[in-house]
Chain A
């Protein structure tokens, strides 16, 4: 085997278990806990398993395998990997990096809220009206205006979270990113299992499960339900925006990448099912306790976590324990995802500027921490967050995933080569089925979802926010990510950075 000295030490996962845990840590995030249960409930209940499974097998895992193939074969961050595939495709990598910057900025704010709510679970600080408490006393929200007035209850935990994050990122791929997931993911699983057990023992839990799993077969004839199943898989699996490309570049040549992809894909979906059972059991209890139907208390996202769950905690026996388990799960799941999002940016900066690990980590995370705190610890933070999240998920992640697939599959026609690369040491051979899925079927499905989302976003102002706010923080953020991607691809790579991927049989010394 040929051995060459790499121009810089990029870091590396020590074995496939660490890689798989890191990939699961990235995939399992807030969306698994607060988005999937609602999407499944709205999408036909028990019948939703059919479109969801089809989406996982037809689009989710195949796209995950494509990300793995790009990173594992090209041995670089997203921009370097795309540059090695074709110099003109480098902008796709930087576009993905820019999307990660936007997401990381607001993700830290949600972790800060969750951290505060762990403490609030003991005092039930929200009193009788969790919604009024969240937007009033806690976030001090000012609707329709941009405020630079800081909210100390958000600013302080945000500063702490960024400090911890900076230390972890500076520790490197194995000791920072990998070790975080190896510790946090088992703890998250234990905490959430305990939550599910407690929720299942609450009165009314079976009514909640009935609402979640009662099949509505007619929903399967609705294209919107299939679109939401594919959307849920894309959003929750961390595919298409550089994370899995980056992680795969840190894995040894002879690791079973295809088998790993199936473990990660099913672990992510398996956790979503667990979340659905826990969340709907608790919602069933809330419905019974408040004398309402489950349909009247169902919610998703911020409303589920910071309004519905506090109401459950207030009324449930051992509510404080339920609250600690729930909000700690949000923090754990969100933190491993935040780390993975930041790794995309740090890895790209390291590759481009040939910086050391600590220098690159500080150069990326310190400015991001400052901007994040300035934007999202203010009284208008929650509005900006909500708009940015909605638009960057759709017209950032979905769009860049589509462009990447079209460029690699139709432009370069490299998918069959990727299939050979992945099958070389993989336990599951990628045959013609995968090539067809990634080249034709998945791009067409993503394009259809994007068109549907674009029509909705243009015709119905999201959440009724003012047009200028949607323009600046929604369309503006998504558009800025694309423009930043194009601009960042202009500077040339250093001469010491090879723009050809290392050969197949080469193990680069890191």
Chain B
């Protein structure tokens, strides 16, 4: 009878300590996530020929391999890409641009809702409607791919207007 009592007591103690241990782990995990939020960020990505991409952002949240940047400004050579959010895989350097994606270059402006970007292959692409202006040339389409080096844009389902004189 006494032995049974001691066994129950031991079991209760074990349960109490393990619950505390699990709670502390969760607290630790939360802390890790919060500590990795940085403000006023700049990331520079280098390739064989030196600086290839520069990414600035308002805040950067980092968890596992996923980097999330608010209000990113991504630059390469003469081109600047902005959006509301950038979700990027740190290892593959591929990312998703979400919300008001705008790409600006020498007398060139492209706007779409969402897009993808590959900082290794130096390309950006999207499947939604877009508008592209190059001086007086206005091009609407659905689906695009931009090669940054050398620069080239491919647009699908095109409707365009060009002013000649």
| A and B are interacting partners | no
Mark B residues whose CB is within 8 Å of A.
Answer: none
Mark A residues whose CB is within 8 Å of B.
Answer: none
